[in-house]
Amino acid sequence: MTNKAAPSPQLLGAINGYAQVISCLAGVIGPGGFTSLFALSVDRNILGGNLIWVAVTGVAVLGTINGFLIEDRDGGEGKIRV
């Protein structure tokens, strides 16, 4: 998906770098954020402590929609044309 998002081969390295940064930030912020959300939902009895599943499902749905919105720039060949 990351390779297909590149508008040109010259920008592929920069886009891969940004993708790595975002992935690392999600790995750092995600566990603590979702753990806090779970604790809050249990403490305040929001959806019986199950608010975390609504949030995780929402993130999964948004990621799936985002994946389907990526344009196929190379005609499905799996290679970037130069």
The model scores a pTM over 0.85: no
DSSP H or E run through 25: helix 12-43
Which sign, positive or negative, has the C-alpha torsion 35, 37, 40, 45?
A: negative
Task: State percent of the chain over pLDDT 90.
Answer: 54
| Of 66 and 57, the one with more pLDDT | 57
Summarize pLDDT for 17-32 with one digit per residue, the tens.
Answer: 988 999 999 999 999 9
Structural domain boundaries in the chain = 9-68
Residue 12: what pLDDT? 85
Summarize pLDDT for 40-53 with one digit per residue, the tens.
Answer: 999 999 999 899 99
**Residue burial 51-68, b: 16+ Cβ < 10 Å; e: rest:** bbeeeeeeeeeeeeeeee
